[in-house]
Amino acid sequence: MAMGATRFEVGVFEPNSEQMILRTWDRDTVLKSIAWLRYENLNGRNIYIRPAGEHHLSLVDDLKGTVIRKMKREGFVPAVLVETSPGNFQAWLNHGKQLERSLSTAVAKTLAATFHGDLGSADWRHFGRLAGFTNRKEKYRHPDGHFPYVVLLESTGSTYAKAAEFLAHVEATIKNEIAQAERRRKLFLKRSRRTRDHLKDIDQFRSDPKYGGAHSRSDLAYAVYSLDHDVPESQVRARIASQALSYLGSPARQQDYIERIVRKALKYLSCDTLGK
């Protein structure tokens, strides 16, 4: 077969129930199963195909004739070209080497965006229609009740001329996007650290005269402030625990005090968030 794969996944889709029968076959089994596929197609099911596993192809779906001509002029001659309904085409492009899944999806999406294909069908393992069977979409039913055949127009199997250049471009774009994301992540962490370094500490709350020396009030204000600035609860607890709490009595009572302060702060913030 011009797709150049040794194993295929064949999908038999029933549009009313939206159920897919999936079979994984080698080329010989696909050919031996034509009679069964015709029977299923005659009974209203659509027949699809894709290579099994990672592969060297990309499907560009929902193309017009003008776009196919543009692809060819620009060095993107399809290995397989199928007319799925009158004036609508699917093109399989052969990259000349197997692509891992994330790169394959990125390549398919870039092709779809470049040639105005269906972005929703652009991923590493999307099904294409199998030629020789009818397209059973209801909108394509003829007045006489028949459906149009999916027609194989070209099947060279060849790698398109711009493959190496295009793949290098997509890989460079991916690496650039990863590098930009990493720079943004580092900048965020740097800003986060800088913001935390300038946060008010519990000592500033305890020494603030507006709390009148009542540590329960100042500690609660500190907890609300810190949690609202994304300081982890464990750090807030530890900071309160670092203060002189012996006046509260036993370690158990001191721990209960800390938990009570943090729970009140969380409750306050929860109510405040809901009210916004």
Q: What is the pLDDT of residue 192?
A: 56
Residue 188 lies in a domain: no
Residue 134 lies in a domain: yes
Same domain, 166 and 29: yes
Q: What is the pLDDT of residue 149?
A: 97
Look up the domain containing 221 and give its range: 199-275
Q: What is the pLDDT of residues 67-105, one digit of tens each?
A: 999 999 999 999 999 999 999 999 999 999 999 999 999
Q: Is the pLDDT of residue 170 over 80?
A: yes
Last residue in a domain, options 105, 137, 172:
172
Q: What are the φ and ψ backbone dihedral angles of 3, each rounded to 5 degrees?
A: -70, -20
Report the distance separating Cα 82 and Cα 128, nearest Å. 9
Strand bridging mode 46-51 / 88-94: unpaired
Q: Is the pLDDT of residue 198 over 80?
A: no
Average pLDDT score over residue span 171-200: 75
Q: What is the pLDDT of residue 275?
A: 46
Name the pTM for this structure: 0.68
Residue 190 lies in a domain: no
Report the distance separating Cα 6 and Cα 25, nearest Å. 9
197 falls in which pLDDT band (50, 70, 90)?
A: low
Q: Is the pLDDT of residue 12 over 50?
A: yes
By C-alpha distance, which of 10, 89, 93, 1 is closest to 48? Answer: 10
- Quickly list H helices, the chain: 27-32, 34-42, 65-73, 101-114, 163-197, 202-206, 215-228, 233-241, 251-275
Residue 194 lies in a domain: no
Same domain, 135 and 266: no
Average pLDDT score over residue span 128-132: 97
Q: What is the pLDDT of residue 190?
A: 65
Q: Is the pLDDT of residue 65 over 50?
A: yes
By C-alpha distance, which of 133, 40, 135, 123 is closest to 88? Answer: 135
Q: What is the pLDDT of residue 1?
A: 66
Q: What is the pLDDT of residues 42-64, one digit of tens each?
A: 999 999 999 999 999 999 999 99
Average pLDDT score over residue span 214-242: 91
Q: What is the pLDDT of residue 157?
A: 95
230 falls in which pLDDT band (50, 70, 90)?
A: confident
Q: Helix/strand/coil (H, E, C) string of 136-186?
A: CCHHHCCCCCCCCECEEEECCCCECCCHHHHHHHHHHHHHHHHHHHHHHHH
Q: What is the pLDDT of residue 273?
A: 46
Q: Is the pLDDT of residue 276 over 50?
A: no
Same domain, 203 and 160: no
Q: What is the pLDDT of residue 107?
A: 97
Q: What is the pLDDT of residues 112-122, one digit of tens each?
A: 999 999 999 99
Edge-first strand listing for the sheet containing 19-26: 19-26, 7-14, 46-51, 128-129
Residue 156 lies in a domain: yes
CA pseudo-torsion sign 67, 69, 71, 76: positive
CA pseudo-torsion sign 96, 102, 106, 112: positive
Q: What is the pLDDT of residue 195?
A: 56
Last residue in a domain, options 154, 172, 190:
172
Q: What is the pLDDT of residue 62?
A: 96
Same domain, 29 and 165: yes
Q: Is the pLDDT of residue 271 over 90?
A: no
Q: Is the pLDDT of residue 151 over 80?
A: yes
Residue 69 lies in a domain: yes
Q: Is the pLDDT of residue 257 over 60?
A: yes
Residue 209 lies in a domain: yes
Same domain, 38 and 168: yes
Domain count, the chain: 2
Q: Is the pLDDT of residue 213 over 50?
A: yes
By C-alpha distance, which of 43, 45, 9 is closest to 26? Answer: 9
Q: What is the pLDDT of residue 105?
A: 95
CA 236 to chain centre: 37
